[in-house]
Amino acid sequence: MNLADRLKNDPFLKRLSDLLGEREAYVVGGYPRDLFLGKRSPDIDIVVLKDVRKFVEPIRELGPVDFRFSEFMTAKFLFPDGRVLDLARARRERYPCPAVLPEVEPAESIEEDLWRRDFSINAMAISLKRTNFGELIDPTGGLEDLQRGRIRVLKEGSFRDDPTRAYRAIRYSLRFNFSYDSLTEREFDLARKYVRLLSFPRIENELRRGSAEERRAEFFHEAEARGLFPWEHRKPALKELKDLDGLLAERKEEDWILFFALFLPEGPGVLEFVHSLPLGKPEKKALLDFLGLRDEEIEMDPGEFHLKHGKSAEEALLVLAAFRPALRDFILDYLERKKKATPQISARELIEMGFTGRKIGEILKKIEILRLQGKIRTKEEERSFVQSQLDERSGR
Ligand code: CTP
């Protein structure tokens, strides 16, 4: 099958093909899959049969803004429109033990490279070689699976070699509304068994990618249900996950930590667990702030709440709103009020009015609380409040 006609809408590939001339190169993975689904994949994975260095010069003629060699046998190009082109040498993989990164060596043919991949729908290639530009290479039957709406692994043991593929399967099945074939369905049992051998950053990476998906609440729910969360955890209902999704503005990878918060263990070891995770500071703070609120008795007064929990990350409060629906309206209202709670009066004005030192911070804090409680709304009201404090001090 030749796809040259379909590729016309994306002149980038044609130009790339012209520059590559008779060199053997293929666009693989997400791009061909999305082309058949009528979507334009933003990123392009190119596989070549020779040393990638031989391909760098022609690709640079397309005007990337950045270019670097990454892991062995690969290079990455970034284009002004945000497009990313990954260049890799065709390879074969050997997994010395389950769940570790494979040993790789160059493959002899594109077909061999396609057979080592995760699913048939991701194992198609389109030739960029000028003389057969657009030729589809589909040794595993990916197109048929795409048409039937089927996620199918390419060999038994695929999820034992690489349990991250189980998370990927869920992402694709939800994104495209596809089902799993019977072998893939059985592979989930292997994934459940071996997922605990994955390093946490590899799991995090999958959760990040899941968090950018439209049906991310379902992604987290299914990943848990299929045993892919290898730590002691609570099991949030799908509704809770959907509520959280609804509370967050846009879908982005960084949100993964907020969904993760709902899967924290419930027992006393939870703090130790959080501290043991290899996470950045803001992520740990979000989790710890949430834990500080999770089982706390909360007085629904915005001023009181602010005094106790005002330093909590906003994200932690959103997780709390999903976790404790009875607090939802209160929290959303508090967050709205908080936006308008910054005192208008300046420290300078307070000094002019006779306040000094620590007193200035105290008075500003009081104004903030009164604003949160709706007792002060304008700068004028702030001034009268400050005046009343002065009067109190001087005993007037
Ligand atoms: N791949 C694989 N096994 C993995 C990860 C990736 O076989 N564990 C292969 C698949 O062929 C995949 C390609 O590498 O298509 C590129 O991976 P990635 O960029 O993660 O996926 P995309 O197909 O681009 O999917 P998405 O649309 O989710 O970005």
Q: What is the pLDDT of residues 199-229, one digit of tens each?
A: 999 999 999 999 999 999 999 999 999 999 9
pLDDT surpassing 60 at residue 396: no
Distance 45 CA to ligand 1 centre (A): 9
In the numeric block, the tokens 């760098």 are attached to 56
| Residue % of the chain over a pLDDT of 70 | 99
Checking if the pLDDT of 73 tops 90, the result is no
pLDDT band at residue 173, thresholds of 50, 70 and 90? very high
- Check: CB of residue 386 under 8 Å from CB of residue 346: no
Mean pLDDT computed over 361-373: 89
Closest CA to 50 of 107, 127, 116: 107
Q: Which two tokens stand for residue 305?
A: 């709440």
Give the Cα separation of 303 and 372 in Å (integer): 6
Give the Å distance between the CA of 210 and the centre of ligand 1.
Answer: 13
Instruction: Say whether pLDDT at 395 is over 70.
Output: no
164 lines ligand 1 (CB under 6 A): yes
Dihedral sign from CA coordinates of 68, 70, 72, 74: negative
Q: In terms of DSSP bridges, do strands 136-137 and 91-94 run parallel, antiparallel, or are they unpaired?
A: unpaired
Q: Is the CB of 45 under 6 A from ligand 1?
A: yes
Atom of ligand 1 nearest to the CA of 118: 7
Torsion of CA 190, 196, 200, 204, to 10 degrees: 40
For the entire predicted model, the pTM comes to 0.91
Q: How far apart are CA 325 and CA 68, in angstroms?
A: 48
User: Is residue 122 lining ligand 1, measured as CB closer than 6 Å?
Assistant: yes
Pairing of strands 44-48, 91-94: unpaired
Q: Is the CB of residue 210 less than 8 Å from the CB of residue 218?
A: no
In 3-state terms, what secondary structure has residue 151? strand
Q: What is the mean pLDDT of residues 362-369?
A: 90
Instruction: For ligand 1, say whether the CB of 29 is within 6 Å of any of its atoms.
Output: yes
The Cβ of residue 158 has, within 10 Å, a number of other Cβ atoms equal to 24
CATH number of 6-144: 3.30.460.10
Whether 27 shows a pLDDT value over 90: the answer reads yes
Among the residue ranges 38-42, 178-182, 337-341, 390-394, the one predicted with the least confidence is 390-394
pLDDT value of position 245: 96
Q: Are 18 and 119 in contact (CB under 8 A)?
A: no
CA distance 262 to 255: 12
243 band by pLDDT with thresholds 50, 70 and 90: very high
Contact yes or no for 284/274 (Cβ under 8 A): yes
Q: Is the CB of 165 under 6 A from ligand 1?
A: yes
Collapse the DSSP code of 126 into the 3-class scheme (helix H, G, I; strand E, B; otherwise coil) and give the result: strand
Q: Is a pLDDT exceeding 90 seen at residue 140? A: yes
Which pLDDT does position 30 carry in this prediction? 95
On the question of pLDDT at 333 being above 80, the answer is yes
Mean pLDDT, range 149-159, rounded to an integer:
97
Parse the chain into domains and list their residue ranges. 6-144, 234-339, 347-393
Residue-level pLDDT at 208: 98
Q: Mean of the pLDDT values across residues 121-150?
A: 96
Contact 161 CB / ligand 1 (< 6 Å): no
Q: Is 118 in the pocket of ligand 1 (CB under 6 A)?
A: yes
Nearest CA to ligand 1 atom 25: 30
CB-based contacts of 116, cutoff 8 Å, min separation 6: 91, 92, 93, 107, 154
- Identify the pLDDT of residue 120: 98
Asked whether residue 230 carries a pLDDT value surpassing 90, the answer given is yes
Note the pLDDT of residue 11. Answer: 86
> Residue 240: what pLDDT?
96
Distances (CA, A) of 197 to 101, 143, 293: 11, 33, 32
Top-confidence residue, 197 or 307: 197
- CA of 119 from ligand 1 middle (Å) equals 9
Given this model, what pLDDT does residue 31 score? Answer: 95
Query: To 10 degrees, the CA torsion angle through 153, 158, 164, 165?
Result: 0
Mean pLDDT (the chain) is 92
pLDDT at 326: 93
Task: Lowest mean pLDDT of 44-58, 129-143, 232-246, 379-393, name the range.
Answer: 379-393
What atom in ligand 1 is closest to the CA of residue 45? 16
Predicted confidence at residue 7, as pLDDT, reads 85
Q: Which atom of ligand 1 is nearest to the CA of 29?
A: 15
Q: For 188, what's the count of Cα atoms within 13 Å in the CB-facing half-sphere?
A: 19
**pLDDT band at residue 394, thresholds of 50, 70 and 90?**
low
Higher pLDDT, 164 or 267: 164
pLDDT confidence bin for 263, thresholds 50/70/90: very high
- What integer is the mean pLDDT of 240-263? 95
**Res 356: pLDDT:** 82
**C-alpha 29 to ligand 1 mean position (Å):** 6
Poorest-confidence range of 44-48, 197-201, 335-339, 351-355? 351-355
Q: No. of H helices and E strands in the chain?
A: 20, 11
Q: Which tokens hold the place of 134?
A: 């657009």
Give CA separation, 379 vs 81, 300, 343, in Å.
Answer: 46, 26, 8
Buried b (16+ CB within 10 A) or exposed e, 64-88: beeeeeeeebebbbebeeeeebbbb
| C-beta 140 within 6 A of ligand 1 | no
Element (H, E) at 46: strand 44-48
Question: What is the pLDDT averaged over residues 49-69?
Answer: 90
